[in-house]
Amino acid sequence: MVKTIVFLGPPGAGKGTQSQLLQERLGFIQISTGDLLREAVKNQTPLGIKAKSYMDEGKLVPDELIIDLIKEKLSQIGNNIILDGFPRTVPQAKALDNLLANLGRKIDGVILFDITEDEVVKRLSGRRVCPSCGTVYHIIYNPPREDEICDKCGTKLIQREDDREEVIRKRFEVYRDQTAPLIDYYKDYIVKIDATADKEEVYNKITSVL
Ligand code: ADP
Ligand code: ADP
Ligand code: ZN
C-alpha cells in the first residue's frame, strides 16, 4: 500500500529536513509547496508572479493557486508521499481529501512537529539552503563541511529572503491563526512529536510511528 503522510508544524520546525531524510533513506517523495512556489517565482511563471508578494511578506498564497499546483503534482506520483507544508488551511485540507479520493489514496498519518516560537526564530535565522539541489543547513546546528558550500553539489549556499526576523515572526503568527486549526481537523490521526530533539532522534521517532 502506498502511503500519504502530512507534515504539519510551524516554519522552521524541521519538516523539510526530515522530508529529505525520508526521501534519501526510504524513497519517499517529498512534495513541498514552498519549494514548488520558489521554483515558480524563479522561473517567473504566471503562478510565480502572483505568489511572490505574498511570500515576501510571510503571508499565505491564496488557496486556489495552491490547490491547482498540488493537483497537478499529486496526479503524477504513484509512490509514498510526504506532504511538506501543505495543507496549511482548512479549505486546503478539504480539497486534499477530495483530490486523494479521486486518486484512490487517503491520508495515512499526520505528524505534528512541536516547537516554540523562540526556537523557530533561532533555527530560521541560521538556516542556509542550497539554491541548486535544495539541501537545508544551519550555520550552527547542521553546518556544511566547508563554510557556506553545499556538501552534495559544491554550490554556494544562500539565505532565503523570508528568513529575516520580522518575516519569521509574521510567518509564525500566520501559522498560529491559519494553520494550527488543522490540528483539530486531523485530530483522529495526528501524532505529535518533540521537534526540538536532535535531527536523528526526530527521524527515529517519525519512522517508529509511520
Ligand atoms: P521547515 O521545513 O519546517 O521550515 P527546516 O527543515 O528547513 O524546517 O529546518 C529549519 C532550520 O532548522 C534549518 O536550518 C535546519 O538545518 C535546522 N534544523 C532542522 N532540524 C533540526 C533539529 N532537529 N535540530 C536543530 N536544527 C534543526
Ligand atoms: P517554511 O516551512 O519555512 O515556512 P515554506 O517553504 O513551506 O516555508 O513556505 C514559504 C512560503 O511559501 C510561505 O510563507 C507561503 O507564502 C508560501 N506557501 C508555501 N506553502 C503554502 C501553502 N500550502 N499555502 C499557502 N502558501 C504557502
Ligand atoms: Zn547542493
Rounded to a whole number of angstroms, the CA Rg of the chain reads 16
25 part of the active site? no
pLDDT tens digits for range 158-175: 999 999 999 999 999 999
In the numeric block, the cell 490540528 is attached to 183
Query: What integer best gives the mean pLDDT of the chain?
Result: 96
Q: What whole-number distance in Å separates Cα of residue 188 and Cα of residue 58?
A: 30
Q: Ligand 1: distance of its center to the CA of 98 in Å?
A: 31
Half-sphere exposure of 76 (CA within 13 A, CB side): 8
3-state secondary structure 49-103: HHHHHHHHHCCCCCHHHHHHHHHHHHHCCCCCEEEECCCCCHHHHHHHHHHHHHC
CATH number for the domain formed by residue range(s) 4-28+79-115+173-209 = 3.40.50.300
Residue 1 pLDDT more than 80? no
Q: Report the nearest-CA residue for atom 1 of ligand 2.
A: 11
Q: What is the pLDDT of residue 188?
A: 92
Which of 15, 38, 123, 128 is catalytic? The answer is 15
A 10 A CB-CB count for 165 gives 10
Residue 78 pLDDT more than 90? no
Which of 160, 169, 199, 205 is catalytic? The answer is 160
88 part of the active site? yes
* pTM strictly above 0.85: yes
